[in-house]
Structure 1
């Protein structure tokens, strides 16, 4: 419950503060119209509050805002205009702070939609035309250039294609497709241009379906119930009971008003958003963005964590794990020559070799006479020497002295092998894989210590690769080769047991992130789609921040509850004093302000 529009919250806060300031100045100056200023500051806030209460009651929601409405109404009716304005200011201030926290949750899916291809190159009468993708029909022939996102689902017409499907399937290494293979929209062409035979219109493509899944999951997601509203019914009944009893026993309506004033739930209205904002600010300094207070509260209660593999438990990119050379060849020199040649290639594996060579401070030379066979290999000259880099089959056809396959024994599952030939002779092989993050094991242990009692791996990568990672981390169950729809099903199954935390970084994770109680995106390396769908974004490329976020969320929620319970306890004591006539309305309003200050100071502990 509460006024929802941020602009309305700001307006009402300004009205309440303005009415109190103007009325107080007029009262000091001895002006008779001071009461009108206080009345205006109260009445306008009260009107907005009543509209919201009626709307909420129609939805079957009862909140503590009713107490604030009763106290403001009684203050106007009984002529205690200053007290009414103070209550209005407290209420409007709390709504403004709460709106500030909730406003961070309103994210558009612009990044997800922005990734969707808008145009495509279609063959028309033997020539290429740039057309909107919604005009593409099944049977059309399309050209997909290097670096472009595949616009529609189709069948590969070219001999080969190299696709980066990590955003769709979670595969960290590029996939090599052959003529006739299915090509899914949303993948990125990481190799040479290729032709595609469209089999579905854009509106029915894989990527468009992912967008729809995210939207549907967000619409199904139940709204978070504010902590304050959980205490609404009993506190409302207690307040009305004490106020009614005081009026009935003494016949003094002002005592009833005083009870309502000190009962105004400002410890809840103010302390909760302050604690939440403080906790969110604290986590932001640790590189964790919490999008709204509801997400923080839910994060504090999760018991199950579902983790994607690629980009979450692993780095999400190919890295060299070992190099095997022939005879006495130097491994770094083999890498230096291969990376020098690969400078002329845009292939993701080639770029990984170049990156590693730079990391090792190896001096690279410019290549010449380069010829690249898309998805197979590349050869050319470096420093006057003939260099060839590519798959084992490609290199085996170029060298006769040794077989590259002989060097591939006992390689880790899921690894990719690049063979290198120098001057027509095999130099060796370079083995790449998606490394496990060094902090992954410590993060899982920290999650368990923070109260997570079940951890699940759910990935779109191959099952053998997922099993290998799960074995290293001692995690079970571990699901591989999951589609976006199947990831959502895993989340739903686990959610039946306990509140679920889902962590991912790719477009394929976006629907699961949106459907989980709390979705966490690896924002530093992940896709914009996952960041938009998630409730929490790790802004730094450190998975250990996840456990920090869970611990901080639990501490923030504990501090918020302490503030609430302490504030309500003090309010109940003040209500009793007001019922016995020891607290007039204005004094009660100021006492309530003192209580507010106390609980807010306590709530600010969440910053530490």
Structure 2
């Protein structure tokens, strides 16, 4: 909270209380003077803020508060001035509290940014600024440290708390050779890591930039509230002036002004929008600003890429076809033993499949790899060859190998052992297990039409989309064709686009809201997007969408209810049913109610 606002609130409380107690200590003659000094101090700061805002071209409802206190002092209503000053200072303090509460999740992300890291240099450790870290640097992470840059575990085992990044409460384990994400907190013993990206390009740096952009951007509803503030100011002054003109009663006029100070229109909207963004951030959906949340809240169409979104984005072992006299597990064990020597994504998939089956792998020897084609080596005395169909055929001295039947979009890897074909591995980019549930949740969250737009072959797109209940399946698309699909969908309503590749960046940019898969997504996709999904799980997008809709609904509800009650209080004051002090207390109750209602967006 602002120290100035706390000071003003204390002055207003002490002044009002001091004036009320003055007669009991023999200072009754100074009662009005005490109230006047306290309210005058609040008014002086208020007038400075009003002038500063006007010089920036901003018209706020602080003018109403300034008119109320000034009028009360001018008409000798020192008690009323003191009450209004207290209500105004209290309202500003309440607004600060609510905004800070709503921004807590965003501030927590910024507060975690590490400034230094421990780097190995010439056999010793030195503490260095993270912006000096370069790819290939070896770092030491201790228990409790925040991972400073994206990297890979090089020695030891990492147990990482990802909650601040993804909302995931279960710690993530990473062994040697596995990636670690910047911004995660180390929970276990120390481990070494090798940086793979500089700090400026790491995941957490991107998050920080998004948070800063989000804090700077004003939501359309907030800008709308700013414009309505001028209308509300005109109506308030007109009603107060009309009351004085027709009744000749300056007290009624003052009561009208007081009943409008401050206004829930300005308080409720930013609190609800910020709270909704914080709730979405906790679930792993980071938005670049309030405008993104408001637009998402009205979305009805979704265009989605296949690879890395509906699917895992990497080939996995989908089946094994043994040749005569070979068993599937033995084929996999020998192939995976050899593939341990390769960094290829297909090799990693075969090794992972063998490990998931609990197979014991041996150490390969004399390994030779032909980039992009395959590799061969000795495993337990056998000459093992794994790779593409043509590669294995050439190594066996054959013109070709008989290919097995397979589904569209399925990759094929052949295996030869001791000079003979042992069989084939079928590899495919499988649909994520959570995808059907995620799509159902997106429908429940208000998405009426879902279009799959992919650069893959139409047969592959049809296979992936089969059974998912999508409204349209389009394959073999170039980036400009994806853009055309997004633009066509926008004609029927607010359209979201979800993607993760470089070829998705143009479509993300033209969508009403572009959403990048932040963990696997390319830098181009992340920069083009309006929001980043920090977890490779579309169910989180549905949760973020639901949070956006709820926050916007609460903002609208708070404004309508608050304005209705405020106008009712002003009319009652104009007809003499509410006194100046009662009007101030009633307005403060309205402000508290709408702010508490706006904070419901955090739940």
Same fold (TM over 0.5): yes
Compared with structure 1, are the counterparts of its residues 532 and 95 closer, same or farther at alpha carbon in structure 2 (3 Å cutoff)?
A: farther
Is structure 2 residue 553 aligned with structure 1 residue 558? yes
Aligned to 2:344: 347
Paired residue for 1:407, among 399, 403, 410?
403
Q: Residues 517-576 of structure 1, C-alpha deviation per residue, up to 9 Å, x if partnerless?
A: 323332344345545554443333321222233233223322332222222221122112
SS at match of 1:73: helix
Could you list the per-position Cα deviations for residues 469-488 of structure 1 after superposition, in whole angstroms to 9, with x for gaps in the alignment?
34453434444455556544
**In the alignment, what sits opposite 2:187?**
none
SS in 1 for 2:220: coil
Question: 2:418 corresponds to which residue?
Answer: 423
Measure the CA separation in 1 of the matches of 2:565 and 2:446.
32
* SS of the residue 2:395 aligns to: coil
Distance in 2, Cα, partners of 1:37 & 1:367: 84
Tell me how far 1:370 sits from its aligned partner.
0.6
Structure 1 segment 51-450 matched on structure 2, within 5 A = 51-53=52-54, 55-56=56-57, 66-79=60-73, 80-84=81-85, 86-91=87-92, 93-94=94-95, 97=98, 224-226=220-222, 228-229=225-226, 232=229, 235-264=232-261, 266-399=263-396, 403-404=400-401, 406-409=402-405, 411-450=406-445
How large is the Cα RMSD of the aligned pairs? 3.8
How far apart are the structure 2 equivalents of 1:82 and 1:516?
A: 50
Q: Provide the secondary structure at the position in 2 that maps to 1:76.
A: helix
3-state SS in 2 of match to 1:372:
strand
Structure 2 CA distance for partners of 1:313 and 1:592, relative to 1, 3 Å: same
1:548 counterpart residue number: 543
TM-superposed CA distance for 1:87, in Å, is: 2.3
Distance in 2 between residues matched to 1:262 and 1:222, nearest whole Å: 28
Aligned to 1:210: none
> C-alpha separation between the residues in 1 aligned to 2:283 and 2:60?
38
C-alpha change, 1:579 and 1:386, in structure 2 (3 Å) is: same
The answer (yes or no) to whether the contact 2:221–2:269 under 8 Å persists in 1 is no
**TM-score of the two chains, using structure 2 as the length reference:** 0.70
Residues 1:17 and 2:13 aligned together: no
SS at match of 1:397: helix
**Shift, 1:358, TM fit:** 1.6
Distance 1:487 1:401, change over 3 A: closer
Greater displacement, 532-541 / 381-390: 532-541
Post-superposition shift, 1:342? Answer: 1.0
C-alpha displacement at 1:311, in angstroms?
Answer: 1.1
- Alpha-carbon distance in structure 2 between the residues aligned to 1:45 and 1:467: 64
223 and 272 in structure 1: CA distance in 2 versus 1, 3 angstrom threshold = closer
Q: Is the CA contact 2:301–2:493 (under 8 Å) kept in the aligned structure 1?
A: yes
Indicate if the aligned counterparts of 1:68 and 1:91 stay in contact, CA closer than 8 A. Answer: no
- In 1, distance between residues paired with 2:350 and 2:261? 66
Residue 346 of structure 1 and its aligned partner are, at CA, apart by: 1.3
Equivalent residues of 1:16, 1:42 under 8 A apart = no
Once the two structures are superposed, what CA deviation does each residue of 1:39-89 show, in whole Å capped at 9, x if it has no partner? Answer: 3334334433444355446xxxxxxx6433123234224412541453255
**Given that residues 438 and 539 in structure 2 are in contact (C-alpha distance below 8 angstroms), is that contact kept between their aligned partners in structure 1?**
yes
Q: CA deviation at 1:501?
A: 1.4
Change (3 A) 1:513 1:29: farther
In structure 1, the gaps of 5 or more residues are 1-8, 58-64, 112-147, 149-213
Q: Deviations over 1:355-396 (max 9, x none)?
A: 222222211111100111111110001111110111000111
Aligned residues: 486
Match of 2:580 in 1: 585
Distance in 2, Cα, partners of 1:455 & 1:235: 41
Structure 2 partner of 1:459? 454
Q: What's the CA shift for 1:100?
A: 7.8
The answer (yes or no) to whether the contact 1:12–1:44 under 8 Å persists in 2 is no
Helix, strand or coil: the match of 2:433?
A: coil
Contact 1:299 1:554 in 2 (8 A): yes
Change (3 A) 1:412 1:14: farther
In the other structure, the counterpart of 2:197 is none
Q: Secondary structure at 2:350's aligned position in 1?
A: helix
CA change 1:56–1:223 in 2 (3 A) is farther
Distance in 1 between residues matched to 2:288 and 2:14, nearest whole Å? 37
Q: Does 2:601 correspond to 1:606?
A: yes
Q: 2:526 and 2:13 mapped to 1: Cα distance?
A: 43
Structure 1 length as normaliser, TM-score?
Answer: 0.70
Task: Evaluate the alpha carbon distance shift between residue 512 and residue 92 of structure 1 in structure 2; reply closer, same or farther with a 3 A threshold.
Answer: farther
Q: Is the Cα contact below 8 Å between 1:458 and 1:482 reproduced in 2?
A: yes
What is aligned with 1:200? none
Contact 1:12 1:45 in 2 (8 A): no
Report deviation, 1:241. 3.6
Q: Relative to structure 1, is the Cα distance of residues 46 and 86 closer, same or farther in structure 2, using a 3 angstrom cutoff?
A: farther
The separation in 1 between residues aligned to 2:476 and 2:235, in whole angstroms, is 56
Contact 1:324 1:429 in 2 (8 A): yes
Shift of 1:222: 10
Between 454-463 and 569-578, the greater mean CA deviation after superposition: 454-463
Residues 321 and 314 of structure 1, relative CA distance in 2, 3 Å threshold:
same
Aligned to 1:44: 45
Secondary structure at 2:497 match in 1? strand
Q: C-alpha distance in 1, partners of 2:91/2:510? A: 36
Residues 517/585 of structure 1: CA separation in 2 closer, same or farther (3 Å cut): farther
Q: Deviations over 1:125-147 (max 9, x none)?
A: xxxxxxxxxxxxxxxxxxxxxxx
